[in-house]
Structure 1
């Protein structure tokens, strides 16, 4: 795993982007009205972020990318809200501190329809430290959930065929490309097998048509086919490659029809990434890729 000093040199911005993300500020003030404006909550945000960083040196933590609501920017966001109001259920897989779920609730969705899930459950107490909503949040948190573990999605699991919608914000790029198709199929097993059920999300992507691959320095080494230890591959998807990934994940379900959509948007650079960050990713032509796969 990358050491903290190296991670900070690439993936650390000191000040929270409070003026670039008024929606995040409004969300925190919705739950914490004692904070009268953005500037008053800076110390709180720095404290919570530092505690999260000590758990995992993730770029999205050090660069404050979790401060951006990837779900809200999607054109289908109003549909998501309405479907939750109609009694459907959403799973935020890789939820971190559950900020997107709380944004859904603030925007009118009932909290009882929101399930948050992550491999790392140490994020969850931090979320309650930030939002102080233990008494009013009626949704669910499931920690220690490994999407590679069949017990999570297989026969007999409470999560199998349970969710109408699954959101994977900045999630799929955490996995080596040779495992992503299986992971997407595992997620499909958690969807209700009905028309309209969908998996959607965002990922760090590339403008290069066929994607871009590099080594992931923030992930622990793995053993390759030769038995040698090496850093796993990290892939930036293009709109083309992410559609191919989604289609391949359900290609054995011949009796089902799916719709696959993807679009690229500009990558969030308002956190002014460090020079080391820019140098590290200089060849990637980074964009953000939003995507959705929906049963017809």
Structure 2
């Protein structure tokens, strides 16, 4: 039941973001204009399967998650371990590991990705760790203008900053873990990417939209201040 609940929540997030259709991601991957998509924190990998269902070559889609059990549960749920094998299409990896022998670099992914999907990901960290994660994203992307980072995450209407609270949602129901997240508003999210650009010598068009939490997001963020932030970030 927990797996099915997680799947429903993740699908809600993706559909309400309208990420793939509005930004031409599916068309670019189907035509071969783009050759590699990577989802960070992919969990069960349902969005990867949706891209394949929409006609994207399975050789073009990759996913990574910290928890190998989630990847394996996705294979069991969708019964497609042969089509999306661990270590080839799906990678159990610590995304923040920047050592020379990290899993993604050893798989020769650095500098090869056209679009990175990072939904429900950056808001899991404090701001210094978010900056580290953004820089790590850049090491995986190609250096071509037009490559993209897209996603959706929890945020606030105004007053960005750290929030300390018990982990919510199906993945936070065990252990009473308390963590500190940095939740952005629109302005602070753009400022984060300004800092990323300054630190890496890159330039980005940052499109970010605030949405009221009208779906299953209340399972994660139940205070009146919380909003969804949908974003599409393009290298200039």
Which residue of 2 is the match for residue 127 of structure 1?
74
Q: 1:156 to 1:105 in 2, by over 3 A?
A: closer
Which residue of 1 is the match for residue 164 of structure 2?
215
Kindly name which structure, 1 or 2, has the bigger radius of gyration based on alpha carbons.
1
Residues of 1 paired with 2:130 and 2:217: CA distance? 28
1:217 offset after TM fit, Å?
Answer: 2.4
Over the residues paired in the alignment, what is the CA RMSD in angstroms? Answer: 2.9
Which residue of 2 is the match for residue 80 of structure 1?
25
- Choose from 155, 166, 182 the match for 2:132: 182
Deviations 1:32-67 (A, max 9, x none): xxxxxxxxxxxxxx2644xxxxxxxxxx84x95224
Q: 1:250 to 1:123 in 2, by over 3 A?
A: same
Which residue of 2 is the match for residue 108 of structure 1?
55
Q: 1:115 to 1:178 in 2, by over 3 A?
A: same
Which residue of 1 is the match for residue 171 of structure 2?
none
Aligned residues of 1:242 and 1:291 also touching (Cα < 8 A) = no
Residues of 2 paired with 1:144 and 1:83: CA distance? 27
Where 1:189 maps in the other structure, the secondary structure is helix
1:250 offset after TM fit, Å?
Answer: 2.0
Residues of 2 paired with 1:163 and 1:268: CA distance? 32
Number of aligned residue pairs: give it. 222
Deviations 1:1-45 (A, max 9, x none): xxxxxxxxxxxxxxxxxxxxxxxxxxxxxxxxxxxxxxxxxxxxx
Which residue of 1 is the match for residue 174 of structure 2?
none
Q: 1:150 to 1:72 in 2, by over 3 A?
A: farther
- Choose from 187, 203, 210 the match for 1:240: 187
Deviations 1:200-248 (A, max 9, x none): 211111111x3143114239xxxxxxxxxx9542122111111111221
Unaligned runs of 5+ in 2: 169-176
Q: Indicate yes or no: 2:136 matched with 1:191.
A: no
Which residue of 1 is the match for residue 232 of structure 2?
292
Q: Indicate yes or no: 2:140 matched with 1:200.
A: no
Aligned residues of 2:40 and 2:116 also touching (Cα < 8 A) = yes
Where 1:126 maps in the other structure, the secondary structure is helix
Residues of 1 paired with 2:131 and 2:115: CA distance? 18
Q: 1:130 to 1:160 in 2, by over 3 A?
A: same
Where 2:68 maps in the other structure, the secondary structure is coil
Where 1:193 maps in the other structure, the secondary structure is coil
Which residue of 1 is the match for residue 113 of structure 2?
163
TM-score (ref. length: structure 2):
0.81
